[in-house]
């Protein structure tokens, strides 16, 4: 590791740093997708530089800036929430179409033909991915009515205490009822309360004022009229109508705090709007205000990665927002169905459980969690789906004892003969399936009994079943011992977890190639297009003989998760709406959020093999959940840890960071360079110098192939300041297309959690035109105005996850040390393939973060759900 300057680099003079003014941010907050969560950078990337808006929609930052602001406030409240307000209204979350709520997909049978259902699902996914509609728009057709002051019945202990507006998976409901280790304790949520009192609590604030004498017009015009009456910008009208539905104007008149559900609107702004409409009749104790704050805080937590919050954290956040009685507010939200209550068992190593009264069994301590229906259903759907894949898997036939093992070549030949295919491809088996077609098969349905998990896609075709000798043959021919171990694990289990760094990606590729050689429809899905291309290269290397004339290109087995779900890539869906494949390997598994994972798992038919592969050291998903980490911690399925290291100075440095050590490495070719800086202004100056001059001169890497990564969007050395300086140096211009010029590098976020790098090519009436790795894309003007497109010379680590560049420049300003964790440093430092420059202004805070702060913890339920699934599966055996 070198601290010297690169060849030809000159030290900065005492001149002023390049311009660091914030990039232009449109004030217009309206536009499609407003009900959806922020993009992939949602998370507290820079807690030191958070910004708010003075009024709803006025001077409001983009979606990611709102995420940073929310993160600072929620952390101060003890809830650790860190994202912008989501427009999905909590009370109507569970009442929508299954296409938009994967967690509820199992609860309602599809209407019409199965083909129509599959087409509708694909269309919904495409609409969300393209940004034409938000996920919330599929089920927020009407606003939640005001909560009636009616008594609520005491819910069952351990179950979601106020059921969702739509039915959920029965197995998940049954399992949740069993979560408690004893009877519910009286008191507030922290003390284990599982529901409201027999009578709804009385509001501590003044009674709601009569409806204002404002006769709202229908549609968006009515919303605009109500917003104007309350002093809110009329530019919020379209977003508000999308969030609250057709009765938005009437709903806002009855409950002004519903405005808090619109992205970018903050509690103090909603309070001002309510005061303008209600006058002296409103106050901090208004029940409507408390309910809106409960949902808003849980949305913040979800966008920070939490699928639920502990009751104490949520109560503290409500108290900070001047809610007089947080316990009453929580009980009212539970009674209204806006919030669900869960009891998760707490593991206490070395501790003794307390005996339950009147029971010989010992009571296990539990923690009381509160969450929104949307994420609770998704988390339970993931747990059910993973258990289903394990329980419905048919083990491969083992050879009999008196059968001599076949030679490798004979086994492969036998497998090819049985399945009517050659080692070069699987066109004969799959019937030459192309995207959208449904391959036919005569394989018998599986009759393996399940353990408390309902049968799923019972009529779906089942995969070809290579013999154990065929699997062993392809494992013996694997390119590495770790690849062989992965192939053997996938041969004998319907669900496998695989861990490894960048070099280990060759192992899932070897598995896909081996499975396709055995006649299975095998595909690999990645988080980004860049990751897809890297996987395609590995697949081509793993099957060099498949390039013969008439053989399918192995690279076609590489897809993106979004492309696979939308039907743009991959095999398409069968007649029942399931993905037409036999084995799916999901790379970049840590980037899977709960809702995407639920939709993916629900799309796999019984008997399908699923391999989740990823680097456990990188940042978790931008959306809620930590699926991969919870799966590993639960030890729910076979796990294969790669023994393939990442070579070179960058690989050595990153490997050390992964175990908590920040050490110097030998870099004779200046693969790793440390550039010390004194302040943020110097950090910006040196970053521009590295990207524009030093790296191109020393390594031949052009500026548009070098990626800058920093801790957050705000601050003197955040993405906004860096992008402003880099644009001034690399592509100066007036920003005539909504702040962008042709040639600008941009980052487009079509859906939360996805960042698509691109270059501006122009603009017209349709919107901003981009070139995204050779694919033309048009971003509607409304999305440009809401922050879906930002300059992309500098990104956050969350945005950069899943993508690698020839060179990376990581900027660590001294004012952003609060956002550093080991996972952040690991992710940022591993983005460069040939060169890594670290603009170091964090001093010793960097080493402390690597050694002492592994991750920013998240509160989730998936680990306990998976463990309970295993326990419920063992109970019948124990009884026997």
Residues 671 and 834 sit within 8 Å (Cβ to Cβ): yes
Strand partners, 770: 760, 777
Which of 6-10, 237-241, 854-858 comes out lowest in average pLDDT?
6-10
Work out the pLDDT band at 815, boundaries 50, 70, 90. confident
Work out the pLDDT band at 875, boundaries 50, 70, 90. low
Specify the 3-state DSSP secondary structure of 127: helix
Phi, psi of 138, rounded to the nearest 5 degrees = -75, -20
What is the C-alpha to C-alpha distance for residues 266 and 85, in angstroms, rounded to an integer?
8
Strand partners, 345: 366
Helix crossing, 170-177 with 862-879: angle to 10°? 80
Query: Average pLDDT for residues 818-825, to the nearest whole number?
Result: 95
Residues 528 and 592 sit within 8 Å (Cβ to Cβ): no
Model pLDDT, residue 308? 96
Work out the pLDDT band at 95, boundaries 50, 70, 90. very low
Q: Kindly give, in sequence order, each residue whose CB lies less than 8 Å from that of residue 610, ignoring residues fewer than 6 positions away.
A: 386, 389, 494, 495, 496, 583, 584, 586, 601, 604
Work out the pLDDT band at 52, boundaries 50, 70, 90. very low
The secondary structure of 138-155, three-state, reads: HCCCCCCCCCCCCCCCCC
What is the C-alpha to C-alpha distance for residues 153 and 382, in angstroms, rounded to an integer?
30
The secondary structure of 226-269, three-state, reads: HHHHCCCCHHHHHHHHHHHCCCHHHHHHHCHHHHHHCCCCCHHH
* Residue 153 pLDDT > 60: no
> Which residue, chain included where needed, has tokens 């699928």?
307
pLDDT digits (tens, 9 = 90+) for 272-300: 999 999 998 889 999 999 999 999 999 99
Which of 337-351, 559-573, 787-801 comes out lowest in average pLDDT?
337-351
Who has greater pLDDT, 470 or 437? Answer: 470
pLDDT digits (tens, 9 = 90+) for 468-522: 999 999 999 999 999 999 999 999 999 999 999 999 999 999 999 999 999 999 9
Which of 118-122, 369-373, 476-480, 697-701 comes out lowest in average pLDDT?
118-122
Work out the pLDDT band at 1, boundaries 50, 70, 90. low
Tell me how crowded residue 24 is: count the other CB atoms within 10 A of its CB. Answer: 13
Phi, psi of 474, rounded to the nearest 5 degrees = -70, -30
Would you say the pTM of this structure is higher than 0.75?
no
What single-letter DSSP state applies at residue 737? B
Sheet containing 767-772: give its strands across. 775-779, 767-772, 756-764, 745-748, 789-791
Q: Kindly give, in sequence order, each residue whose CB lies less than 8 Å from that of residue 245, ignoring residues fewer than 6 positions away.
A: 92, 140, 141, 142, 143, 251
Specify the 3-state DSSP secondary structure of 347: coil
> Could you tell me the two tokens for 845?
């805070």
Model pLDDT, residue 286? 94
What single-letter DSSP state applies at residue 694? I
Q: Kindly give, in sequence order, each residue whose CB lies less than 8 Å from that of residue 160, ignoring residues fewer than 6 positions away.
A: 168, 173, 176, 340, 341, 342, 373, 376
* Residue 88 pLDDT > 60: no
Who has greater pLDDT, 856 or 428? Answer: 856
Strand partners, 614: 499
Work out the pLDDT band at 83, boundaries 50, 70, 90. very low
What is the C-alpha to C-alpha distance for residues 544 and 556, in angstroms, rounded to an integer?
14
> Could you tell me the two tokens for 728?
């001034």
Model pLDDT, residue 116? 59
pLDDT digits (tens, 9 = 90+) for 517-559: 999 999 999 999 999 999 999 999 887 655 554 567 889 999 9
Model pLDDT, residue 347? 65
Structural domains of the chain in order of their starting residue, each with its CATH number = 392-397+408-438+463-644 (3.40.50.300), 649-842 (3.40.50.300)
> Could you tell me the two tokens for 869?
């699934």
Specify the 3-state DSSP secondary structure of 458: coil
Work out the pLDDT band at 395, boundaries 50, 70, 90. confident
Query: Average pLDDT for residues 140-156, to the nearest whole number?
Result: 39
* Residue 784 pLDDT > 50: yes
Model pLDDT, residue 551? 65
Tell me how crowded residue 602 is: count the other CB atoms within 10 A of its CB. Answer: 25
């Amino acid at each position: 590791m070198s601290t010297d300057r690169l060849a030809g680099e000159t030290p900065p003079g005492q001149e002023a740093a390049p311009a660091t003014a914030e990039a232009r941010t449109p004030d217009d907050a309206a536009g499609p997708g407003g009900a959806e969560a922020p993009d992939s950078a949602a998370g507290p990337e820079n807690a030191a530089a958070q910004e708010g808006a003075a009024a709803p929609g006025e001077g409001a930052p983009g979606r990611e800036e709102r995420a940073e602001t929310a993160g600072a406030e929620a952390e101060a409240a003890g809830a650790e929430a860190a994202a912008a307000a989501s427009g999905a209204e909590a009370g109507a979350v569970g009442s929508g179409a299954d296409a938009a709520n994967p967690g509820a997909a199992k609860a309602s049978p599809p209407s019409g033909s199965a083909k129509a259902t599959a087409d509708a699902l694909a269309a919904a996914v495409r609409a969300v991915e393209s940004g034409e509609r938000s996920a919330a728009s599929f089920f927020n057709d009407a606003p939640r009515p005001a909560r009636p002051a009616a008594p609520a019945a005491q819910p069952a202990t351990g179950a979601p205490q106020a059921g969702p507006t739509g039915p959920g998976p029965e197995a998940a409901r049954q399992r949740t009822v069993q979560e408690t280790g004893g009877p519910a304790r009286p008191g507030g949520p922290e003390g284990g309360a599982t529901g409201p009192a027999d009578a709804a609590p009385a509001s501590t604030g003044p009674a709601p004022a009569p409806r204002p004498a404002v006769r709202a017009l229908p549609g968006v015009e009515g919303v605009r009229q109500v917003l104007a009456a309350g002093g809110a910008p009329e530019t919020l009208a379209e977003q508000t109508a999308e969030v609250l539905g057709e009765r938005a104007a009437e709903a806002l008149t009855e409950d002004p705090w519903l405005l808090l559900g619109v992205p970018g609107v903050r509690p103090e702004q909603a309070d001002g709007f309510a005061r303008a409409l209600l006058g002296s009749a409103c106050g901090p104790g208004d029940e409507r205000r408390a309910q809106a704050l409960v949902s808003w805080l849980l949305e913040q937590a979800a966008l920070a990665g939490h699928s639920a919050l502990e009751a104490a954290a949520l109560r503290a956040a409500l108290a900070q927002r001047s809610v007089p009685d947080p316990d009453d507010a929580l009980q009212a939200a539970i009674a209204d169905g806006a919030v669900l209550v869960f009891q998760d068992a707490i593991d206490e190593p070395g501790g003794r459980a307390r005996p339950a009264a009147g029971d010989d069994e010992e009571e296990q301590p539990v923690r009381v969690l509160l969450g929104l229906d949307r994420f609770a259903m998704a988390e339970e759907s993931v747990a059910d789906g993973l258990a289903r894949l394990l329980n419905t898997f048919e083990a491969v036939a083992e050879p009999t004892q008196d059968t001599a093992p076949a030679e490798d070549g004979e086994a492969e030949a036998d497998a090819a003969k049985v399945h009517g295919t050659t080692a070069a491809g699987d066109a004969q088996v799959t019937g030459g399936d192309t995207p959208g077609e449904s391959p036919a098969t005569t394989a018998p349905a599986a009759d393996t009994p399940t353990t408390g998990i309902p049968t799923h896609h019972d009529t779906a075709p089942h995969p070809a079943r290579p013999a154990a000798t065929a699997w062993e043959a392809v494992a013996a021919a694997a390119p590495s011992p770790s690849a062989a171990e992965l192939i053997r694990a996938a041969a004998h289990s319907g669900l496998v977890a695989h861990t490894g760094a960048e070099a280990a990606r060759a192992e899932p590729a070897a598995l896909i190639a081996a499975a396709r050689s055995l006649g299975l429809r095998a595909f690999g899905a990645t988080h980004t297009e860049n990751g897809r291309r890297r996987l395609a290269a590995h697949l081509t290397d793993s099957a060099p003989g498949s390039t013969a004339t008439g053989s399918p290109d192995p690279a076609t087995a590489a897809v993106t998760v979004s492309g696979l779900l939308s039907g743009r890539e991959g095999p398409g869906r069968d007649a029942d709406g399931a993905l037409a494949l036999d084995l799916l390997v999901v790379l970049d598994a840590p980037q899977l959020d709960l809702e995407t994972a639920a939709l993916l798992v629900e799309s796999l038919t019984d008997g399908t093999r699923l391999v989740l592969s990823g680097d456990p050291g990188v940042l978790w998903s931008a959306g809620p959940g930590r699926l991969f980490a919870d799966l590993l911690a639960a030890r729910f399925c076979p796990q294969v840890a790669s023994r393939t290291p990442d070579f070179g100075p960058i690989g050595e440095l990153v490997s050390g960071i992964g175990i908590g050590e920040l050490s110097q490495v030998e870099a004779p070719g200046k693969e790793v360079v440390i550039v010390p800086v004194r302040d943020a202004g110097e950090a910006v100056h040196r970053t521009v110098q590295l990207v524009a001059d030093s790296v191109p001169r020393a390594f031949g890497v052009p500026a548009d192939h070098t990626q800058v990564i920093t801790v957050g969007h705000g601050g003197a050395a955040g993405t906004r300041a860096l992008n402003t300086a880099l644009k001034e140096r690399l592509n100066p211009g007036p920003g005539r297309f909504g702040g962008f010029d042709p040639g600008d590098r941009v980052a487009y976020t079509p859906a939360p959690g996805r960042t698509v790098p691109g270059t501006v090519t122009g603009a017209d009436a349709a919107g901003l035109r981009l070139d995204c790795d050779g694919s033309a894309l048009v971003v509607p003007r409304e999305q440009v105005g809401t922050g879906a497109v930002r300059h992309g010379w500098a990104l956050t680590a969350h945005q950069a996850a899943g993508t690698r560049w020839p060179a990376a420049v990581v900027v660590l300003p001294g004012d952003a040390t609060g956002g550093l964790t080991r996972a952040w440093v690991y992710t940022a430092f591993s983005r460069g393939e040939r060169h890594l420059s670290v603009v170091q202004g964090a001093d010793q805070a960097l080493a402390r973060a690597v050694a002492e702060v592994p991750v920013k913890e998240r509160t989730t339920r998936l680990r306990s759900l998976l463990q309970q699934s295993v326990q419920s599966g063992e109970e019948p055996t124990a009884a026997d």
